[in-house]
Amino acid sequence: MPYATASDGVRLWYEEAGAGTPVVFVHEFGGDHRSWEPQMRFFSRRHRCVTFGARGYPPSDVPEDLESYSQEIAATDIVAVMDALAIPKAHVVGLSMGGFATLHLGLAAPGRALSLVVAGAGYGAEKQHEAYFRNVSLEVARQFEAQGAETFAKTYAQAGGGRSALRARRDTPPERKLACLTLDRAQDMVLGREPVLHAGKPVGYVTSANSGYSVGRNIAYALLPAALAVPGCAVEIEYFDAALPATVAAEPLFDPHGARLRA
């Protein structure tokens, strides 16, 4: 069975798939290494992907000593997994609890990270709400101790709507989508945050933009109503006092069939 061994002897279960530039996924409090299965399946087509169970999450070891858990230890556990797999540097992706561990890895061992993706890790960051968040966290800890993980986990999973709310959101069509736009004229270029117009009315805004050297046109991404975020839809981007024509494009723009990748 694949285990990495942390500096204090705790065994950390890991799984890996694919080949290429390494990507390490670090899971949240309410999940485990299996939570990253969709990302592992997708990114392993072009990357060496690794996911592991944090200490306290079987099949990783579950130390009983409270001193075996800390933010610093969570960060060094990421390094332990990378060391076990002879990975000197990796893109590290963390969610929530894993996001905090990823952030601490970047602070403590920046040389081990090609990049950091820190998602959902702002919990308790607002100083005016610090006491509230601390009290909520302490209450959650008390309930886990009083009721046991098997019982209280069911309540915790429903907090904020839980899985049922995610399913309902998944089944509800999005009102807005991020769309790729190509500017119709080669000389036109935008910078970002410009309004996007359709039929003369503002319908969204540019989130980012850059030169599209490989496709011969400048590119922008814009958040648009779902009904307009379809390939071929003509829009205009308001750039100072000019309305620059653009078209919603299908992605990927470059090498859509992967011919160059396989060559």
Residue position matching structure tokens 């922008």: 220
Structure confidence at residue 120 (pLDDT): 84
**What DSSP element (H or E) covers 229?**
none
**Residues ≥6 apart with Cβ < 8 Å to 26:** 52, 54, 78, 92, 93, 94, 95, 98, 99, 101, 102
Q: Percentage of the chain surpassing pLDDT 70?
A: 91
Distance, in Å, from the CA atom of 158 to the CA atom of 153, rounded to the nearest integer, reads 9
Query: For all residues of the chain together, what is the average pLDDT?
Result: 89
Structure confidence at residue 166 (pLDDT): 58
What is the number of residues in the chain? 263
Are 235 and 181 in contact, with CB atoms under 8 Å apart?
yes
Is residue 160 over pLDDT 60?
Answer: no
**Residues ≥6 apart with Cβ < 8 Å to 98:** 25, 26, 27, 28, 54
Q: Convert the pLDDT of each residue in 193-220 to its tens digit.
A: 899 999 999 999 999 998 887 888 899 9
Q: Which domains does the chain have, with CATH numbers?
A: 3-123 (3.40.50.1820), 176-248 (2.40.30.110)
Is residue 131 over pLDDT 90?
Answer: no
Are 63 and 56 in contact, with CB atoms under 8 Å apart?
yes
- Which of the pair, 93 or 66, is modelled with greater confidence? 93
Are 79 and 109 in contact, with CB atoms under 8 Å apart?
yes
Structure confidence at residue 69 (pLDDT): 95
Of 22, 27, 40, 37, whose CA–CA distance to 91 is shortest?
A: 22
Q: Where are the beta strands (DSSP E) in the chain?
A: 3-5, 11-17, 21-26, 47-52, 90-95, 113-119, 176-183, 195-198, 201-210, 219-225, 234-239, 242-248
- Which of the pair, 163 or 76, is modelled with greater confidence? 76
